[in-house]
């Protein structure tokens, strides 16, 4: 039914990242809070992404971070959702739940932070943590982004993909 319109062949950073994941045969799952699905949506833009991108969980409500990703309730109660240990637990949690063929995903990616317009608990607008977990280690990065809600979310998306690229390269 559809015209055989070719995808743009512009090689952007996300395309290069997904192609690297495909070449390496490494699967990925994503747990998103403030980015709300935008990281996954960006990854699946790339034709062939289904070979490595399994999906994930958008845990926008804090309670879903616990119920769907297994983030420790005491950790959330003590620090709130915008905390490096929460980002790490989300990345590790989504790896674990995205089981295909009996195996967890090779890589788990997570975002948590405050997009605004209002601060959240003690956390200011623009404070963002991104994390990437594999079977051996979990990397977490703290960022303090400027700009409005859309700008903070876009920068969080880019930071998550940059950390994933770093983990894949490393």
Nearest to 126 by CA among 75, 76, 82, 168: 82
DSSP 123: B
Does the protein bind its own copies through residue 32 (CB under 8 A)? yes
CB neighbourhood size of 123 (10 A): 18
Applying CB under 8 A, which part among 14-22, 82-90, 112-120, 161-169 lies near its own copies?
Answer: 112-120
CB 130 within 8 A of CB 110: yes
Cα–Cα distance measured from residue 111 to residue 92, given in angstroms and rounded to the nearest whole number? 12
Which of 12, 61, 142, 166 binds its own copies (CB under 8 A)? It is 61
Considering the complex, state which of residue 1 and residue 135 has its C-beta at the smaller distance from its own copies: 1
CB atoms within 10 A of CB 8: 9
5 contributes a contact to its own copies by CB under 8 A:
yes
Task: Among 18, 145, 156, 159, indicate the residue that binds its own copies (CB under 8 A).
Answer: 145
In the set 21, 56, 106, 131, which binds its own copies (CB under 8 A)? 56
Please report whether residue 124 would count as binding its own copies according to CB under 8 A: yes
Instruction: Please tell me whether residue 71 binds its own copies under the rule CB under 8 A.
Output: no
- Residues whose CB is less than 8 angstroms from the CB of residue 103 and which lie 6 or more positions away in sequence, other chains included: none
C-alpha dist (Å) from residue 136 to 20, 35, 107: 20, 26, 10
Strand partners, 68: none
What does DSSP say about strands 28-32 and 107-113: parallel, antiparallel, or unpaired?
parallel
Among 16, 100, 121, 166, the residue binding its own copies under the rule CB under 8 A is 100
User: Would you count residue 126 as binding its own copies (CB under 8 A)?
Assistant: yes
Q: Which of 30, 107, 132, 161 binds its own copies (CB under 8 A)?
A: 30
Does position 144 interact with its own copies (CB under 8 A)? The reply is: yes
Residue 20: CB atoms within 10 Å: 15
Q: Say whether residue 44 binds its own copies (CB under 8 A).
A: yes
Which parts of this chain interact with its own copies (CB under 8 A)?
1-3, 5-7, 30, 32, 34-41, 43-45, 47, 49-50, 53-61, 63-64, 67-68, 97-101, 115-117, 124-127, 144-153
């Amino acid at each position: 039914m559809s015209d055989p319109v070719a995808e743009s062949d512009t090689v952007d950073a996300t395309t290069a990242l997904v192609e690297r994941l495909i070449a390496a045969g490494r699967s990925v799952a994503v747990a998103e809070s403030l980015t709300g699905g935008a990281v996954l949506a960006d990854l699946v833009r790339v034709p062939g992404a289904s070979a490595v991108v399994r999906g994930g969980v958008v845990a926008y409500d804090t309670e879903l971070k616990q119920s769907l990703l297994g983030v420790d309730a005491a950790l959330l109660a003590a620090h709130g959702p915008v905390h490096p240990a929460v980002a790490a637990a989300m990345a590790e949690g989504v790896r674990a739940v995205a089981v295909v063929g009996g195996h967890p995903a090779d890589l788990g990616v997570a975002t948590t932070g405050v997009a605004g317009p209002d601060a959240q608990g003690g956390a200011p607008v623009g404070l963002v943590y991104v994390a990437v977990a594999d079977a051996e280690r979990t990397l977490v990065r703290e960022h303090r982004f400027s700009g409005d809600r859309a700008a903070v979310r876009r920068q969080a998306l880019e930071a998550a993909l940059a950390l994933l690229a770093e983990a894949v390269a490393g």
